[in-house]
Amino acid sequence: QSALTQPRSVSGSPGQSVTISCTGTSSDVGTYNYVSWFQQHPGKAPKLMIYDVTKRPSGVPDRFSGSKSGNTASLTISGLQAEDEADYYCSSYAGSYILVFGGGTKLTVL
C-alpha cells in the first residue's frame, strides 16, 4: 500500500487561507470517507484536527475544514495564525484493515 501524496510544503501570511492536498487512489481516499488530518508541532505528538473527511473534534477551531473530491482530500486553514505553523499529515482507511498516511506537509506562516 503506497503512502498518500502531499505537497512537501505550503506557506501563507497571517489572515490568509491555505489548502493542503492529499492524493490517494480509488482504493483508499476515493472509496472511503475515513480521511483524517493531523497537526504536529516539533517534538510533539500528532493532534487530530479533522476526521471522516469533514468532521472537527471538539476544541478544534472552525478555521480548519476538510473536503474530498475523487481521490484527493484537502485541508483548508482559513484566517492563518502563527500557531498554525506545523507539519500536517493526512491518513485514510484503505480497506482490508489497512491505514495509510501521507508523507506530510510543512506549513510556514510568513
Say how far apart CA 88 and CA 31 lie, in whole Å.
22
From the list 10-18, 51-59, 62-70, 74-82, the region that binds other proteins by CB under 8 A is 51-59
Residues 11-40 that bind other proteins (CB under 8 A): 32, 34, 36, 38
Closest approach of other proteins to the CB of residue 16, in Å: 25
Residue 26, phi-psi category: left (phi > 0), alpha (psi -120 to 50), beta (remainder): alpha
Say how far apart CA 24 and CA 33 lie, in whole Å.
12
The answer to whether 97 contacts other proteins (rule: CB under 8 A) is yes
Task: Tell me which of 12, 24, 66, 102 binds other proteins, using CB under 8 A.
Answer: 102
Range list of H helices, 1-110: none
Closest CA to 78 of 90, 66, 91: 66
Closest approach of other proteins to the CB of residue 97, in Å: 4
The answer to whether 66 contacts other proteins (rule: CB under 8 A) is no
90 contacts 5 by C-beta, under 8 angstroms: no
Binding positions for other proteins, rule: CB under 8 A: 1, 3, 32, 34, 36, 38, 44-48, 51-52, 57, 89, 91-93, 97-104
